[in-house]
């Protein structure tokens, strides 16, 4: 079956695939490879809702770290400092819905394992 995403990008930690990008919202699938994590980051123009659809991860929001599993949901408010990491042996899959100004440049990286600013 052919992929039906409209944009995608491979990253050092895994991959994101964009499925919808409309005025005021965007929907992506995030794939985090085993042993990898996203940068510690925040967004000034959007909030995010994540649904964990496969795997298990360690989710950071501000000063709180929680374990998330298949079926869990998390909300990241505008300005919330967050990251997700995959300590497991299988890919961690997340469906992400962004609300607000959905621009890939709205990422302020506070820490990054891969040297990105």
> Is 104's pLDDT higher than 90?
no
Q: CA 116, 89, 41 angle in degrees (round to 5)? A: 25
Distance CA 61, CA 63 (A): 6
> Is 91's pLDDT higher than 80?
yes
Which pTM value belongs to this model? 0.91
In this predicted structure, what is the pLDDT of residue 1?
53
DSSP code of residue 2: -
Dig out the tokens for 24 from the structure. 């005021």
Q: What is the pLDDT of residues 26-85, one digit of tens each?
A: 999 999 999 999 999 999 999 999 999 999 999 999 999 999 999 999 999 999 999 999
Q: Which one has a higher pLDDT value, 4 or 70?
A: 70
Distance CA 99, CA 89 (A): 31
**What domains, with CATH codes, occur in the chain?**
7-109 (2.60.120.10)
């Amino acid at each position: 079956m052919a992929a039906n995403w409209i944009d995608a990008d491979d990253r050092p930690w895994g991959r994101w695939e964009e499925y919808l990008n409309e005025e005021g919202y965007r929907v992506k699938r995030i794939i985090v490879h085993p042993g990898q994590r996203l940068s510690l980051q925040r967004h000034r123009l959007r909030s995010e809702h994540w649904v964990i659809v496969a795997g298990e991860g360690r989710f950071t929001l501000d000063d709180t770290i929680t374990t998330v599993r298949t079926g869990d949901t998390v909300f990241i408010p505008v300005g919330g400092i967050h990251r997700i990491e995959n300590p497991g042996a299988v890919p961690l899959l997340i469906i992400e819905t962004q609300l607000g100004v959905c621009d890939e440049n709205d990422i302020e990286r506070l820490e990054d394992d891969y040297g990105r600013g």
